[in-house]
Structure formats: structure tokens, C-alpha cells
Amino acid sequence: MRARSLVLATVAGSALAGLAWSALAPVRSASRDQIFDIPRGTWARRMSGDKVEILPDHMRLTLGVRDILVLRNHDAVPQIFGPTLMMPGQSFRLPFEQAADYTFSCTAHASGQMIISVRPYPGTPWARLGWRAYEFWWQARLLLRHIW
């Protein structure tokens, strides 16, 4: 009984410590690049009727943390991303400085559209908590997609 209480207290303490760190530690990132790769064969797959959904149709950037969109066209044909015509092998690097939702047309996406939500820097404990929770969920989703 006592051992069980000790375990519960340890788990609760760890959870609280984790929450406190998530809320209080400043959000930092070694790189501010959010990289998107358009894989080789995307266009050919789409032309053959395959609904390629390699790029998400909605993505989020955060000012001061990850606010530079980097697109890399590895396909063998030019790709249009919004205003950008990218030749094969070319990359495009677009920094954002205003928090807003940006809608771009994108031939690399089956829906033909992509929304980029640029959010303000998470400067408050609640915002940091929310940002870290979202990042955790996003990375976990990517990881699970990669594994399966």
C-alpha cells in the first residue's frame, strides 16, 4: 500500500514537473526551417490517378521558433507552390514575419491548396504549454506514420 502511494506520488510529481517545465521553459529551436520535400515521382503518381497526399494541406509555423518555410523539389518536373515555380532540384526558402493564415495553391498537393498558419511566438506559460503539446502530437504523428 505504502509502495503504491510512493509510486503514485512519484508519477504525479514527475507529471507536475514536466508540466511546469513545459509552461515555463522558453521555446527555442536550433533551426527555424520547416522543411517540405516534394519527392521524386509525385507528379507521375498523381497523373496515374494516385491521390498523393505527401504534403499536409494545413501546416503551422511559429514566429521566432520555426518561421521559415523551406520547399525542396526532388521531383523530375517543375512544381508550382503558390507563387513559386520551382524547377527540379531547386529549393525555395520563404521567411514569415507576420502572424496570419496564408493560403497558397500548390500542384504538389492533391487538393491544389495549402494553408500555412503562422502563429505568434509562445510568450506566455499557457502558450508554451499549448505549443509543446502541439509539437509533441505533430512529431508523434510523423513518427507513427513513418513506422507504419
Partner 1 sequence: MSDARSAAGSVARCGLATALLSLSLSAAATAAPTGAAFKAGTFDPPRLAPDFALQGSDGHELQIVRFRGKVVLLAFGYSSCTEVCPVTLATFAAARRKLGAAAADVQVIYVTVDPQRDVPERLRKFLASFDSTFIGGTGTEAQLAAVRKEYGVSARKIPYRDGYSYTHSSFTYLIDRSGRIRALMPYGHSPDDYANDLTILLKE
What is the grid cell recorded at 63?
A: 514566429
Q: If you count them, how many residues does the chain have?
A: 148
Decide if residue 95 touches partner 1 (CB under 8 A). yes
Decide if residue 94 touches partner 1 (CB under 8 A). yes
Whichever of 38 and 94 has its CB closer to partner 1, that residue is 94
Angle between helical axes of 2-24 and 125-147 (0-180°, round to 10)? 110
Whichever of 92 and 121 has its CB closer to partner 1, that residue is 92
Listed ranges 3-11, 12-20, 45-53, 94-102: which one lies at the site for partner 1 (CB under 8 A): 94-102
Which helix (H) or strand (E) is 105 found in, with range? strand 100-105
- DSSP, res 20: H
101-140 residues in contact with partner 1 (CB under 8 A) are 135-136, 139-140
